[in-house]
Amino acid sequence: MRRLVTTLLLLSMGASWAEPACPPPEGVALQVLGSGGPIADDARASTAYVVWADGRSRALIDMGSGSFVRFGEARVDFTELDFVGLSHFHTDHAADFVALLKSGNFAGRERPLPLAGPSGNRRFPGLHDFLAASIDPETGAYRYLGGYLDGSGGLPRLVPTEVAGDADATEDLLGNSESTIAVYAQRVPHGIVPALGFRVEVEGRSIVFSSDQNGSDPAFIDFAKHASLLVVHMVIPEGAGERAKQLHAEPSRIGEVAAAAGAERLLLSHFMARSLRDLDGNVQRVADSYDGDILLAEDLGCYPIP
Ligand SMILES: [Zn+2]
């Protein structure tokens, strides 16, 4: 009962904890651009997050359907981004990425843009195939943006990295750049869908993004160890069907993972009608195992990291 009271208190305080609005002039903050899922029934954009540091938008994780509008509302600056991560190629994580490239066409960016995504399998493209299908200058659906692949036409070149299942999660994806942020990727179990979690480190803070996953791989607990903020997608309620559990973690598993990782704070996101229906009950399941601060994502919510 104590935990329930504490959790509900934190939930009610969430709005004030999230002040001031992003970006704070100093320090690190996470801003949620999209806190929803793939169904247009919840007035939320699909998944997207931006990491702010000292007033600058440094890393973008996912660009799901609807997040294009939030990107503009949050005044994220395309020229400031050091990194874009696409966790997997479901529409609610990647559909607005090409629209962002078109918008970025007008931003005046010159330096290349590092980008990472998973390698593919028979059912899903890897990052290179996704880019080719989208913007290959000869065959891509949006071939008029093909300059992003080679830097022609005044467009900044994308620098894509595919992360395979056997990749080393301790390798900094930006290791060869001048960037003052570090980004790591780890494959996560999301049914048959190749998917990545990301860890962004800046100014001594670490923000770990679970992406969509079922929580079954203990390697992710190491990957998320002592995160300043762990962002986990609470898509399904407790007791969901087996097929859903192949794709997503139940709330009780989310709590176990966050506790085992020793995360300082937990931000629950990627809500859908089925996980919102008994939100308090689902959050309580998380809190049964995890006794740190639990926060609930809202579109444009700003979460400074002390
Ligand atoms: Zn999703």
Residue-wise DSSP of 117-131: EE---SSS--HHHHH
Q: What is the pTM of this model?
A: 0.93
In which residue are the tokens 């022609």 written? 152
The CATH code of the domain that includes 30 is 3.60.15.10
**Does residue 31 lie within any of the structural domains?**
yes
**Does residue 131 lie within any of the structural domains?**
no
- Tell me how far apart the alpha carbons of residues 144 and 128 are, in angstroms, rounded to a whole number: 17
CB 118 within 8 A of CB 88: yes
In which residue are the tokens 């160890």 written? 225
CA of 90 to the centre of ligand 1 (A): 7
pLDDT of residue 20: 53
**Does residue 272 lie within any of the structural domains?**
yes
In which residue are the tokens 């529409």 written? 91
CA of 47 to the centre of ligand 1 (A): 7
**Does residue 193 lie within any of the structural domains?**
yes
> Which residues are within 8 A (CB) of 38 and not within 5 positions of it... i.e. 6 or more apart?
46, 64, 65, 90, 91, 92, 272
CA of 92 to the centre of ligand 1 (A): 5
Burial of 267 per CB tally in 10 Å (0-12, 13-18, 19+): buried
CA of 12 to the centre of ligand 1 (A): 26
Residues 227-283 pLDDT 10s:
999 999 999 999 999 999 999 999 999 999 999 999 999 999 999 888 888 999 999
Q: Does residue 15 carry a pLDDT above 50?
A: no
User: Is the bond preceding 306 in cis, omega lying within 30 degrees of 0?
Assistant: no
CB 233 within 8 A of CB 282: no
CA of 154 to the centre of ligand 1 (A): 33
For 133, left (φ over 0), alpha (ψ -120 to 50), or beta?
A: alpha
**Does residue 123 lie within any of the structural domains?**
no
CA of 37 to the centre of ligand 1 (A): 5
- Structural domain containing residue 14: 2-88+166-305
**Does residue 52 lie within any of the structural domains?**
yes
Specify the number of domains making up the chain: 1
**Does residue 100 lie within any of the structural domains?**
no
Residue 187: pLDDT band with limits 50, 70, 90: very high
CA of 88 to the centre of ligand 1 (A): 9
Q: Does residue 10 carry a pLDDT above 90?
A: no
- Tell me how far apart the alpha carbons of residues 252 and 144 are, in angstroms, rounded to a whole number: 47
CA of 15 to the centre of ligand 1 (A): 24
Mean pLDDT calculated for residue range 81-93: 98
Closest by Cα among 267, 184, 172 to 220:
184
**Does residue 204 lie within any of the structural domains?**
yes
Closest by Cα among 281, 196, 202 to 30:
202
CA of 111 to the centre of ligand 1 (A): 30
Give me the percent of the chain exceeding a pLDDT of 70.
Answer: 93
pLDDT of residue 2: 41
- Tell me how far apart the alpha carbons of residues 114 and 181 are, in angstroms, rounded to a whole number: 12
Structure tokens at 270: 């990627």
pLDDT of residue 16: 43
Structure tokens at 56: 């600058």
CB 33 within 8 A of CB 50: yes
CA of 152 to the centre of ligand 1 (A): 33
CA of 62 to the centre of ligand 1 (A): 10
Mean pLDDT calculated for residue range 180-198: 97
